[in-house]
Amino acid sequence: MTELKFDKWQALYAKRTLLMKSSEIRDLLSVTARPDIISFAGGQPSTKSLKIHKVIQATQRAMHREGEAALQYGPSEGHEGLKECIAELMKEEGIEAETHDILVTGGAQQGLDLIGKVFIDPGDKIVMEAPSYVGALQAFSAYQPEIISVPLDDNGLKVSHLEKILEQRKEKPKFIYTVPNFQNPAGVTMSLQRRQKLIALAKKHQLMVIEDNPYGLLRFEGEKIRALRTMDASVIYLGTFSKIFSPGLRLGWVVAPKPILEKLVFAKQAADLCSSSFTQRVVEEYFNSNQWRKHVENLNKIYGERRDAMLKALEEFFPKEAKWTHPQGGFFIWVTLPKYLNTTELLAESIREEKVAYVPGRAFFADGTGQNSMRLAFGYPDTETIFEGIKRLSKVVKRQMSLYESLTKKLHL
Amino acid sequence: MTELKFDKWQALYAKRTLLMKSSEIRDLLSVTARPDIISFAGGQPSTKSLKIHKVIQATQRAMHREGEAALQYGPSEGHEGLKECIAELMKEEGIEAETHDILVTGGAQQGLDLIGKVFIDPGDKIVMEAPSYVGALQAFSAYQPEIISVPLDDNGLKVSHLEKILEQRKEKPKFIYTVPNFQNPAGVTMSLQRRQKLIALAKKHQLMVIEDNPYGLLRFEGEKIRALRTMDASVIYLGTFSKIFSPGLRLGWVVAPKPILEKLVFAKQAADLCSSSFTQRVVEEYFNSNQWRKHVENLNKIYGERRDAMLKALEEFFPKEAKWTHPQGGFFIWVTLPKYLNTTELLAESIREEKVAYVPGRAFFADGTGQNSMRLAFGYPDTETIFEGIKRLSKVVKRQMSLYESLTKKLHL
């Protein structure tokens, strides 16, 4: 058996593929599954609190009720019964959606891929938050857009900044992608005022708004803020069962205006024909048993405690030069260190010396900035591990700061 | 709540999206779920013979053994335990694959989408069989290739035809996509000689070969023919659990050379992060209990009888002017009617008057030919239904033939 030479394959790849490469960060993070590493890197939800037997029971009910259909192909749009659950869930966000407004996807990630496929031609402009969800950066980048980055502050996307960009630019972007609640990676939430302004701006410039809301129900502090989709029915909304139930079932959804949904369904059909009839029915049964509310309440208690533990540890151990966000929900705290620190270099040391992992900020920027920032996920490790991990991480940070200070002193001698 | 105008969205779509449209055929076939319709249209496998309780038991074992992992995100490459099952299955096809050669996908359909994404730039040439699998046409078309169609005969792809094309063309195609066993839709199998010639040709022209083999284990007659992948390790092989177990779990796989697999993994990550950890473990448990061999034997008995029933009914009822293929396995018989008949028009009448559905041949050609052919799927209806359905369908065919004859006679008067 012989193989074609590697360089010959290289010549066969599409242009988009030549842009894909294994990142330094990805390589560094490959160790996070090791049990001796405290990882604040992955955005995994806690699945420990999900009762295994409840999932088995949901499977049994689904199989006894509709076993043959559960093992067969289903409609590309998704299983009607699950879409009814989704319509119910959408009401929790104040969104009225009929089942025919909904497309079931392989997690919200597939929704992002399908949106990229339906909207982006190479060179098209799209607007993203800076920092932004790394999975959205990957999904959209495959379709070769030009990404316009708009910064965030504690009130979320700086809409006035976007306004200036839109007024200056001749070519208009196709859409803006935002995670308005407990943003991944920054942990900040867009204020009501900014949401209203964003919707008005989008209308004025005929710009599609993509609202990605995986963490919306995971609020442990403060008042819920209206979803963008409630302000304008042309907003494309992405939801997921990954954070409120289980990411292992890979189910999410898109709510979109009818003609767009139709295009997304075609794209879905070409991508994988349909989502699993089996998992769709298991999730349907689980939700219809009304266990999900209790589970989400429980999650919010757990995550709230973990956030508190992380904030407390940061306060106690991190140097005063460091700044961090105060998330009212979700999974993430964003830490900004002094400008001279490089969190990618720091990560190598942190894993080697202190066995603590996080994601360097650079991963979340389309333009390669964010070198001195880091994302800390508090959803998965327990409070004691969080405390210990932040303590250890602070040592690396302080060490590097002292090193820098002694170096600059020497240079000034 | 207001919506942007429809035409405004139109302006936002990518070029590839403007090519997507609801087909006449799709609309006609939307009735096939009606219980009064005998459908030879869908390629659904029979899931009746799958024991519901075996699937529940596999779920229980999976959840008791690795419940937390089953509910969590997993590696983009796929769950190691399932990849071990796949490596075992590959041996049945004479293919040696290590787990690191395998990527788990959302059915083989996702494999096709990822291959399109990794290899096709707009305008790139690719070679497909004519007729070809409609899902592959859809998946690849989204990346805007120019499709070079190569006809089939009873021995599969006409490789000498491809040879001529390759010698005449200046720009070389990136890959050739083939379903060598019991082809969908034609039901024909590529001979050993042609397979060897195809591999030699691909090497000579540095053309990637994509071997899609969903039906390989569903042979009810004749000798197994070596997989293309056994002749050259640079062949990209696609497999699926849909036909030997259940399509409702949406699991398939790709075996590819290492550097290509790496690109496919990046594309997979951007597309949906990973396949379901839950269904991967359910299938793993099911396969490790060794029930699958008995199930596949059982399927081959059922499908063989159904094929026989369909061939017998065609022989008995169809006019002598019609020709059809004799599949040695799989799901499909391809019927060619006299040139003057249009099977899309015939379908409308067949559904209306005789309540029988099939897929018109045109759907399987990139170039709009195949007007007088049809695909008949025998996998799902039972033998009696098949007999009745073919009898009814023959009436429509004969009616249209007489109509044509009487019209031509009149014109010649």
What ranges do the domains of chain B cover? 9-50+294-412, 69-288
CA distance, residue A332 to nearest chain B CA (Å): 17
Are residues B107 and A277, on separate chains, in Cβ contact within 8 Å? no
Among B4, B55, B73, select the one facing A234 at the smallest CB separation: B4
**For residue B56, which residues of chain A lie inside 8 Å, CB to CB?**
59-60, 63
Interval B46-57: pLDDT, tens: 878 788 999 999
CB pairs under 8 A between A and B: 248
- Fold designation for A6-50+294-412: Aspartate Aminotransferase, domain 1 (3.90.1150)
**For residue B282, which residues of chain A lie inside 8 Å, CB to CB?**
278
Helices (H), B121-158: 134-141
Are residues A113 and B55, on separate chains, in Cβ contact within 8 Å? no
Among A20, A47, A120, select the one facing B266 at the smallest CB separation: A20
Q: Could you say which DSSP state residue B350 is in?
A: I
Among B6, B68, B203, select the one facing A48 at the smallest CB separation: B68
Is residue A115 classed as helix, strand or coil in its secondary structure? Answer: helix
CA distance, residue B11 to nearest chain A CA (Å): 9
Can you tell me the mean pLDDT for B189-203?
A: 98
Can you tell me the mean pLDDT for B310-326?
A: 98
**Euclidean distance between CA atoms B9 and A352, whole angstroms:** 51
Comparing A165-179, A325-339, B302-316, the range with the smallest average pLDDT is A165-179
CA distance, residue A353 to nearest chain B CA (Å): 26
Cβ A182 vs Cβ A331: under 8 Å: yes
**For residue B72, which residues of chain A lie inside 8 Å, CB to CB?**
44, 47, 246-248
CA distance, residue A60 to nearest chain B CA (Å): 6
**For residue B68, which residues of chain A lie inside 8 Å, CB to CB?**
47-48, 52
Best of A27, A60, A72, A171 to disrupt the B interface by mutation (most B CBs within 10 Å)?
Answer: A72
Place of tokens 């959302």: B106
Res. A42 pLDDT band, cuts 50 70 90? confident
Are residues B1 and A232, on separate chains, in Cβ contact within 8 Å? yes
The residue of chain A with its CA nearest to that of B113 is A271
Percent of chain A with pLDDT over 70: 97
Among A113, A118, A276, select the one facing B17 at the smallest CB separation: A118
Residue A20, pLDDT > 80, answer: no
Res. A290 pLDDT band, cuts 50 70 90? confident
Are residues B278 and A277, on separate chains, in Cβ contact within 8 Å? no
The tokens for A272 are: 């994988």
**For residue B14, which residues of chain A lie inside 8 Å, CB to CB?**
117-121, 124, 143
Res. A64 pLDDT band, cuts 50 70 90? very high
Give the pLDDT of residue B44. Answer: 86
Give the pLDDT of residue A2. Answer: 41
**For residue A118, which residues of chain B lie inside 8 Å, CB to CB?**
13-14, 17
- Domain spanning A72-288, CATH architecture: 3-Layer(aba) Sandwich (3.40)
Among B17, B110, B275, select the one facing A263 at the smallest CB separation: B17
Hey, what CATH class is B9-50+294-412 in?
A: alpha beta
Are residues A278 and B9, on separate chains, in Cβ contact within 8 Å? no
Among A13, A118, A247, select the one facing B118 at the smallest CB separation: A13
Are residues A71 and B12, on separate chains, in Cβ contact within 8 Å? no
Give the pLDDT of residue B1. Answer: 38
Can you tell me the mean pLDDT for A100-115?
A: 98
The residue of chain A with its CA nearest to that of B4 is A234
Residue B349, pLDDT > 90, answer: yes
Beta strand extents in A78-201 (DSSP E only): 102-105, 125-130, 146-153, 156-157, 175-178
Report pTM: 0.95
Beta strand extents in A91-174 (DSSP E only): 102-105, 125-130, 146-153, 156-157
Which of A127, A184, A125, A136 has the alpha carbon at shortest distance from A156? A184
- Fold designation for B69-288: Aspartate Aminotransferase; domain 2 (3.40.640)
**For residue B271, which residues of chain A lie inside 8 Å, CB to CB?**
106, 109-110, 113, 139, 271
**For residue A8, which residues of chain B lie inside 8 Å, CB to CB?**
206
Is residue A18 classed as helix, strand or coil in its secondary structure? Answer: helix
**For residue A143, which residues of chain B lie inside 8 Å, CB to CB?**
14
Residue A21, pLDDT > 70, answer: no
Give the pLDDT of residue A411. Answer: 81
Q: What is the mean pLDDT of chain A?
A: 93
Give the strands of the sheet with B359-360, arranged side by side.
B323-324, B332-336, B373-377, B359-360
Are residues A248 and B74, on separate chains, in Cβ contact within 8 Å? yes
Instruction: State in Å, rounded, how far the first CA of chain A is from the last one.
Output: 66
Can you tell me the mean pLDDT for A382-394?
A: 97
State the angle between helix axes of B383-412 and B292-317 in degrees (0 to 180), rounded to the nearest 10: 30
The tokens for A102 are: 């909904």
Which of A171, A164, A237, A176 has the alpha carbon at shortest distance from A203? A176
Res. A264 pLDDT band, cuts 50 70 90? very high
Can you tell me the mean pLDDT for B248-267?
A: 96
**Euclidean distance between CA atoms A316 and A25, whole angstroms:** 28
**For residue A141, which residues of chain B lie inside 8 Å, CB to CB?**
270
**For residue B174, which residues of chain A lie inside 8 Å, CB to CB?**
12
**For residue B113, which residues of chain A lie inside 8 Å, CB to CB?**
270-272
CB atoms within 10 A of CB A91: 10
Is residue B126 classed as helix, strand or coil in its secondary structure? Answer: strand
Give the pLDDT of residue B268. Answer: 96
**Euclidean distance between CA atoms B73 and B75, whole angstroms:** 7
Among B2, B13, B250, select the one facing A119 at the smallest CB separation: B13
Are residues A263 and B233, on separate chains, in Cβ contact within 8 Å? no
Res. A51 pLDDT band, cuts 50 70 90? confident
**Euclidean distance between CA atoms A281 and A82, whole angstroms:** 7
Give the pLDDT of residue B3. Answer: 43
The residue of chain B with its CA nearest to that of A4 is B234
Are residues A174 and B135, on separate chains, in Cβ contact within 8 Å? no
Res. B42 pLDDT band, cuts 50 70 90? confident
Beta strand extents in A213-317 (DSSP E only): 236-240, 252-255
**Euclidean distance between CA atoms A145 and A263, whole angstroms:** 19
Which of B370, B369, B364, B366 has the alpha carbon at shortest distance from B134? B364
CA distance, residue A54 to nearest chain B CA (Å): 10
The tokens for A33 are: 């599954």
In this prediction, does ipTM exceed 0.90? Answer: yes
CB atoms within 10 A of CB B405: 11
Q: What is the mean pLDDT of chain B?
A: 93
**Euclidean distance between CA atoms A227 and A237, whole angstroms:** 9
Interval B356-371: pLDDT, tens: 999 999 999 998 899 9
Give the pLDDT of residue A9. Answer: 81
CA distance, residue B207 to nearest chain A CA (Å): 9
The tokens for B299 are: 């399927």
Among B20, B69, B135, select the one facing A263 at the smallest CB separation: B20
The residue of chain B with its CA nearest to that of A67 is B52
Interval B124-183: pLDDT, tens: 999 999 999 999 999 999 999 999 999 999 999 999 999 999 999 777 899 999 999 999
Are residues A139 and B109, on separate chains, in Cβ contact within 8 Å? no
The residue of chain B with its CA nearest to that of A107 is B272
Give the pLDDT of residue A5. Answer: 44
Can you tell me the mean pLDDT for A99-119?
A: 97
Are residues A279 and B275, on separate chains, in Cβ contact within 8 Å? no
Q: Rounded to 5 degrees, what are φ and ψ at B153?
A: -135, -165
- What are B237's strand-pairing partners? B211, B255
Which of B340, B337, B350 has the alpha carbon at shortest distance from B408? B340
**For residue B206, which residues of chain A lie inside 8 Å, CB to CB?**
4, 8
CA distances from B373 to A321, A398, B41, B329, B376 (A): 74, 74, 13, 20, 10
Q: Could you say which DSSP state residue B222 is in?
A: S
Comparing A166-170, B82-86, B256-260, the range with the smallest average pLDDT is A166-170
Residue A99 Cα to chain centre, angstroms: 25
Can you tell me the mean pLDDT for A54-61?
A: 95
**Euclidean distance between CA atoms A371 and A29, whole angstroms:** 16
Percent of chain B with pLDDT over 70: 97
Among A15, A208, A271, select the one facing B113 at the smallest CB separation: A271
Are residues A262 and B124, on separate chains, in Cβ contact within 8 Å? no
Are residues A17 and B117, on separate chains, in Cβ contact within 8 Å? yes
Res. B5 pLDDT band, cuts 50 70 90? very low
CA distance, residue B157 to nearest chain A CA (Å): 23
CA distance, residue B317 to nearest chain A CA (Å): 31
Are residues B71 and A15, on separate chains, in Cβ contact within 8 Å? no
Among A12, A56, A121, select the one facing B119 at the smallest CB separation: A12
Give the pLDDT of residue B2. Answer: 41
Among A63, A71, A271, select the one facing B271 at the smallest CB separation: A271
Helices (H), A30-97: 52-70, 80-92
